[in-house]
Structure 1
């Protein structure tokens, strides 16, 4: 299937890799189908691209590559709605806000994208934890005293 991406232009995708967001994304409830696209020059970052709207795309990254101690628990409703049966089937990404210069860019740790990769079901999961920011630095966090 061919789609258009504001970041990558015209691109062929495998329809089996289309992610279903049953509730859409916050602010984009009508957009329910997305695909993760590789950024060829930088494998650390990806594009979460709407299948139907070329202008709706987010740069995402694996938050654990930057914040190794990042952790949270999913509620039972989310586990059920995403049909999660094994932690190994789950992938977590954080949406980035790109800034100039790039090192000032941020990631949203407060509302990660949680994906059941086996079922291709996903949602943006808003955390009720004060310890995580929606504008966390992409720079490695400073080591805690004693580390």
Structure 2
């Protein structure tokens, strides 16, 4: 399938790379099909994009929460994620939304509303974390900067 995206231009998406969100995502209940994309030059360990298939102009920056919060262990009501199928540690991918304002030093991730994706069945959902110790706006600029310096 060919898709003309705002960030990556025209791209070819394999059907096997489409993630179905049966209930949509928070704020966008009608968007149910997405794919994960990343900048080849940046590598797949940096920020990725949750790209809508139905609305090619819509892409949300996401990342692995463990990069900025190594002890991230959210409590999620199992009934809220049952529509993604049976999950085991090998089949689960957890991503969080990245907010990138004009002032990059104020960059944050939303640890309160992670995306939970069953990579085996390519189904996902966005859940709300039950434990209160994960904020909606968790600052990450200094952490990313420190990680980059450590890897240089």
Distance apart, 1:81 and its partner CA: 1.6
Provide the residue aligned with 1:46 in structure 2. Answer: 48
Backbone CA RMSD of aligned residues: 1.6
Structure 2 unaligned blocks of 5 or more: 145-152
Higher helix share: 2
Q: How far 1:17 moved relative to its partner? A: 0.9
After TM superposition, the structure 1 stretch with the greater mean CA deviation from structure 2, 4-13 or 105-114, is: 4-13
Distance 1:85 1:97 in 2: 28
TM-score by length of 1: 0.89
Q: Give 2:59's aligned residue.
A: 57
The count of corresponding residues between Structure 1 and Structure 2 is: 141
Q: Could you say what secondary structure the match of 2:143 adopts?
A: coil
| Structure 1 runs not aligned, ≥5 long | 142-147
Give the aligned partner of residue 68 of structure 1: 70
In 2, the alpha carbon distance for the partners of 1:81 and 1:132 equals 23
Q: Give the structure-2-normalised TM-score.
A: 0.86
CA contact (8 A) 2:97 2:109 kept: yes
| 8 A Cα contact 1:3 1:52, kept in partner | no
Q: C-alpha offsets along residues 100-142 of structure 1, whole Å, 9 cap, x if unaligned?
A: 332321111000011000000101111132211111111329x
